């Protein structure tokens, strides 16, 4: 349908720009665009259409904090499961409710809808504003439900650097690591949003840290859909994803 999108094998949804944290490294900064969360029916329609057209191997939901709107997350992953997508990923900070029963209910539904790779964002930046005790409770519920989970920390400068943030992150990761819980690669903080405001001194005079989410627009492998519906230079709330694919032109 479009020579620039012939190799797509992944779909990503930013479920919401709202978040329970206020992290210094956040690439989105103070972004709080409307609508507050993705339209579930349009997201599900996009999953089904793309999976019918391409060999989609992974679907990811993230935010903001996506579990502020868990029903949208459930619906997206249920559609991916039904379409035969092998990897169904969720990135969360684990802090979306103070109600223990609600937490357990959401985690059980994540298992039921098919999430099979949960990335838990935990590090010095998240834990400046989000209680580690809550994260531990969430992690325990995830393990009890049997959802594969990895700790996904953000590293400053590099994973090997010994700056104060990284030292604290290592301690936090050590507290969360348990049988059946592994440490994922995480990511290196790149200069955008809050990171440019609060961590500028760590970027000055150093090689540019690349944005890991950027792709060659002439050879897309990932269709990324924002909470406001934006994708491929258009919007799934006003046009079908297939129409947007036909019309996409990065030049």
Q: Which residues contact 164 (CB under 8 A, 6 or more apart)?
A: 124
For the chain, domains (ranges, CATH) are 3-247 (3.20.20.70)
- Average pLDDT value for residue range 182-202: 92
Rounded to an integer, what distance in angstroms lies between the CA atom of residue 203 and that of residue 211?
A: 13
Q: 169 — alpha (psi -120 to 50), left (phi > 0) or beta?
A: alpha
Rounded to an integer, what distance in angstroms lies between the CA atom of residue 88 and that of residue 78?
A: 9
User: What pLDDT shows up at residue 50?
Assistant: 98
DSSP string, 63-121: SS-GGGSHHHHHHHHHHHHHTT-SEEEEEE-S-S-S-HHHHHHHHHHHHHHT--EEEE-
Q: Which residues contact 22 (CB under 8 A, 6 or more apart)?
A: 129
Residue among 112, 14, 4, 5 nearest 56 (CA) = 5
Place of tokens 């990135």: 91
Rounded to an integer, what distance in angstroms lies between the CA atom of residue 217 and that of residue 232?
A: 9
Residue among 130, 66, 127 nearest 92 (CA) = 66
Residue among 131, 122, 126, 135 nearest 194 (CA) = 126
Helix 132-145 and helix 100-113, axial crossing angle in degrees, nearest 10 = 40
Partnered with residue 150 across adjacent β-strands are 119, 182
pLDDT tens-place string over residues 2-52:
999 999 999 999 999 999 999 999 987 765 555 579 999 999 999 999 999
Q: How many residues does the chain have?
A: 251
What percentage of the chain reaches a pLDDT higher than 90? 85
Q: Is residue 31 classed as helix, strand or coil in its secondary structure?
A: coil
- Pairing of β 87-92 and β 117-120: parallel
pLDDT tens-place string over residues 65-85:
999 999 999 999 999 999 999
Helix 70-82 and helix 40-53, axial crossing angle in degrees, nearest 10 = 20
User: What pLDDT shows up at residue 30?
Assistant: 61
Q: Which residues contact 205 (CB under 8 A, 6 or more apart)?
A: none
15 in Cβ contact with 38 (< 8 Å): yes
User: What pLDDT shows up at residue 88?
Assistant: 98
- Average pLDDT value for residue range 91-110: 97
43 in Cβ contact with 225 (< 8 Å): yes
Q: Is 223 exposed, middle or buried (0-12, 13-18, 19+ CB in 10 A)?
A: buried
pLDDT tens-place string over residues 154-184:
999 999 999 999 999 999 999 998 887 889 9
């Amino acid at each position: 349908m479009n020579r620039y999108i012939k190799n797509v094998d992944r779909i990503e949804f930013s479920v919401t720009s709202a978040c329970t944290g206020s992290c210094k490294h956040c690439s989105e900064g103070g972004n709080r665009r409307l609508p507050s969360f993705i339209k579930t029916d349009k997201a599900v329609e996009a999953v089904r259409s793309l999976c019918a057209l391409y060999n989609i191997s992974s679907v990811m939901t993230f935010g903001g904090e996506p579990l502020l709107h868990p029903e949208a997350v459930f619906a997206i992953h249920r559609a991916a499961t039904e379409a035969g997508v092998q990897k169904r990923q969720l990135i969360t900070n684990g802090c979306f409710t103070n109600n223990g029963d609600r937490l357990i209910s959401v985690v059980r539904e994540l298992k039921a809808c098919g999430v099979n790779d949960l990335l838990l964002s935990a590090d010095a930046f998240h834990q400046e504003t989000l209680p580690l005790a809550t994260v531990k409770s969430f992690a325990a519920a995830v393990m009890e439900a049997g959802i594969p989970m990895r700790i996904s920390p953000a590293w400053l400068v590099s994973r090997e650097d010994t700056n104060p943030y990284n030292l604290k992150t290592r301690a936090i990761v050590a507290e969360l690591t348990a049988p059946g819980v592994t440490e994922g690669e995480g990511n290196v903080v790149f200069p955008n949003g809050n990171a440019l405001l609060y961590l500028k001194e760590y970027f000055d005079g150093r090689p540019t840290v690349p944005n890991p989410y950027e792709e060659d627009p002439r050879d897309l492998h990932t269709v990324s859909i924002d909470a406001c519906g934006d994708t491929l230079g258009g919007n799934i709330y006003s046009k079908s994803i297939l129409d947007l694919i036909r019309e996409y032109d990065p030049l």
